[in-house]
């Protein structure tokens, strides 16, 4: 297992046979992937233990929860499951842990798959809204997919005991039962509201919609933010509208709100929940551009403008898990791996997750300690290789930033493009590791250490 992960980490974009390197390792890898004695749960338990130790050292961490769909064009949906579009694939739900101060990925503490064994079918709107009631208690499916969020929060809460944790989730996490569970467990969280039409109560007892409440909250600060351009998102995230790059002027407000228990929720849940709400909005978007607006439920304090700004900054870190999704699928080519069984794909997923985290951590190191000595991230041999074979010159005493920019140049990065992203750093690192293999081979043949 360790040899497989090391091979994938050194060249994540390579095909599986190429990454393994020789026939013996290829055969061993395929046997491991298909062994019934090796499971995703057991592998991730080991990963979670290490992640928890790293989290304890970091003191304060963010547990970012998300679901992403993995699609395998080569596979049979009857063997591995159906996606919402009817293609072969499954849903992966996991909790990524990052340090709160440096935003360095520390690992994954929870992962589960959601496999749909039947192709999607259209349901009439009346059936989709229909709920079963027995007296005053709603009967809900105990196996419903949305409970994965509850399991993820509970697992992260349990495994990160002794560490200060703030949970982050997008609109899918806006479930009354999840909010109730998180509050009962004493979890800190920032969760984006799914709908603004929910009926709520202000602290003085006035009933209104969430939108009416946040609309009436007075702004406490403004901030100008550079927005990157975004292409239109396809299914299932159609809510992500395309936009042009611009400087947006955002306003912030906050309020305390009481959430009554929805009628569809069982009576064993609390009758009401009390949480803080933070709203971020763009009051004057350019013509033709959709305005930026977030409404966030949180347990974090909102007494001062800096408190409110801190809540928004916490939620901004949620984007790291979107980057991790991309690292899994694009950087590590997970969806391109030619395995036909669900078991093998899930085993491979457990081995891919720590690789994806380290790919992201490389960029975090560049931004976290840019002036530290380059030996904090690269070996002396790797630095010597960059001096001899790199396209970007290194100073006599290179820093972390100098070294990683040189690595990024190997991956095709140009200075005019600004700070290197994780993908170009990852490509450059793969090139550097390939050079290092040749370097070591030359040392072995000649009996000399080239780096000296």
List per-residue pLDDT tens for the chain, 452 residues long. 888 888 888 777 788 888 888 899 899 999 999 999 999 999 999 999 999 999 999 999 999 999 999 999 999 999 999 999 999 999 999 999 999 998 899 999 999 999 999 998 876 554 444 444 444 444 567 788 999 999 999 999 999 998 999 999 999 999 999 999 999 999 999 999 998 899 999 888 889 999 888 888 888 889 888 777 777 665 545 556 777 778 888 999 999 999 999 988 888 999 999 999 999 998 888 888 888 899 999 999 999 999 999 999 999 999 999 999 998 998 888 999 989 999 999 999 999 999 899 888 877 776 677 888 888 888 889 899 998 888 888 988 899 888 888 988 988 888 877 778 777 887 888 788 888 888 888 877 876 655 54
The residues facing 110 across adjacent strands are 95
Residues 181, 40: Cα–Cα separation, whole Å = 26
User: Cβ(403)–Cβ(379) under 8 Å?
Assistant: no
Q: Residue holding tokens 């591995």?
A: 80
Alpha helices in 369-399 (DSSP H): 380-389
Residues of the chain with CATH 1.10.740.10: 369-446
pLDDT of residue 136: 42
pLDDT of residue 449: 59
Taking CA atoms, 364 is separated from 105, 302, 360, 378, in Å, by 8, 29, 7, 14
- If one counts every other C-beta atom within 10 angstroms of the C-beta of residue 376, the result is 12
- If one counts every other C-beta atom within 10 angstroms of the C-beta of residue 336, the result is 14
Q: Which residues contact 74 (CB under 8 A, 6 or more apart)?
A: 88, 338, 340
User: Cβ(408)–Cβ(316) under 8 Å?
Assistant: no
DSSP per-residue codes, 426-442: HHHHHHHHHHHHHHHHH
- If one counts every other C-beta atom within 10 angstroms of the C-beta of residue 370, the result is 14
CATH number of 2-357: 3.90.350.10
- If one counts every other C-beta atom within 10 angstroms of the C-beta of residue 416, the result is 5
3-state DSSP of 144-164: CCCHHHHHHHHHHHHHCCCCE
> Given this structure, which CATH class describes domain 369-446?
mainly alpha
Taking CA atoms, 106 is separated from 168, 214, 319, 352, in Å, by 15, 35, 15, 14
Greatest CA separation found in the chain?
Answer: 84
Q: Residue holding tokens 């990160």?
A: 160
The separation between CA 319 and the C-alpha centre of its own chain, rounded to angstroms, equals: 7
Residues of the chain with CATH 3.90.350.10: 2-357
The helix or strand, by DSSP H or E, that contains position 79, with its residue range, turns out to be helix 77-80
Taking CA atoms, 370 is separated from 106, 402, 424, in Å, by 19, 8, 17
User: Cβ(299)–Cβ(277) under 8 Å?
Assistant: no
Residues 125, 132: Cα–Cα separation, whole Å = 15
Residues 316, 428: Cα–Cα separation, whole Å = 27
Q: What is the DSSP letter of 233?
A: P
Q: What is the DSSP letter of 408?
A: H
Residues 370, 403: Cα–Cα separation, whole Å = 9
pLDDT of residue 169: 98
Q: Residue holding tokens 């403004």?
A: 222
The helix or strand, by DSSP H or E, that contains position 113, with its residue range, turns out to be strand 105-114
User: Cβ(109)–Cβ(155) under 8 Å?
Assistant: yes
Q: Which of 132, 147, 209 is nearest to 181 (CA)?
A: 147
């Amino acid at each position: 297992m360790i040899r497989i992960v090391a091979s994938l980490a050194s060249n994540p974009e390579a095909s599986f046979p190429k990454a393994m390197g020789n026939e013996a390792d290829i055969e061993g890898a395929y046997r491991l992937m298909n062994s019934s004695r090796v499971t995703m749960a057991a592998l991730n338990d080991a990963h979670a233990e290490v992640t928890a130790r790293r989290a304890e050292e970091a003191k304060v961490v963010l547990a970012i929860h998300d679901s992403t769909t993995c699609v395998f064009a080569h596979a049979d949906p009857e063997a591995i499951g159906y996606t919402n579009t009817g293609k072969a694939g499954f849903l992966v739900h996991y909790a990524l842990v990052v340090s709160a101060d440096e935003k360095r990925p520390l690992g994954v503490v929870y992962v589960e798959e959601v496999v749909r064994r039947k192709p999607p079918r259209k349901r009439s709107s009346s059936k989709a809204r229909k709920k079963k009631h027995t007296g005053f208690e709603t009967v809900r499916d105990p196996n419903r997919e949305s409970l994965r969020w509850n399991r993820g929060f509970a697992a992260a809460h349990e495994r990160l005991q002794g560490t200060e944790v703030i949970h982050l989730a997008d609109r899918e996490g806006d479930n009354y039962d999840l909010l109730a569970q998180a509050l009962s467990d004493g979890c800190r969280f920032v969760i984006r509201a799914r709908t603004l039409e929910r009926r709520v109560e202000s602290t003085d007892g006035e009933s209104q919609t969430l939108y009416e409440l946040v609309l009436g909250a007075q702004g406490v600060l403004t901030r100008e933010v550079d927005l990157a351009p975004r292409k239109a998102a396809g299914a299932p995230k159609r809510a992500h509208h395309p936009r042009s790059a611009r400087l947006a002027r955002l306003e912030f407000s906050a309020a305390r709100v009481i959430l009554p228990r929805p009628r569809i929720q069982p009576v064993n849940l609390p009758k009401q929940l009390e949480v803080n709400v933070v709203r971020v909005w763009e009051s004057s978007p350019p013509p033709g551009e959709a305005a930026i607006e977030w409404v966030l439920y949180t347990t974090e304090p909102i007494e001062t403008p800096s408190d409110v700004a801190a809540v928004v900054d916490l939620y901004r870190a949620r984007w790291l898990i979107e980057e991790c999704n991309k690292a899994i699928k694009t950087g590590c080519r997970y969806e391109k791996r030619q395995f036909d069984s669900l078991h093998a794909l899930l085993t491979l997923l457990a081995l891919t997750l720590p690789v994806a985290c380290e790919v992201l951590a490389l960029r975090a190191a560049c931004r976290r300690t840019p002036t530290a000595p380059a030996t904090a991230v690269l070996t002396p041999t790797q630095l010597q290789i960059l001096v001899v074979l790199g396209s970007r010159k290194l100073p006599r005493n290179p820093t972390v930033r100098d070294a990683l920019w040189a690595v990024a140049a190997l991956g095709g990065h140009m200075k005019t493009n600004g700070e290197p992203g994780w993908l170009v750093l990852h490509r450059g690192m793969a090139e550097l590791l390939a050079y290092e293999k040749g370097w070591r081979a030359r040392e072995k043949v000649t009996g000399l250490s080239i780096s000296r």
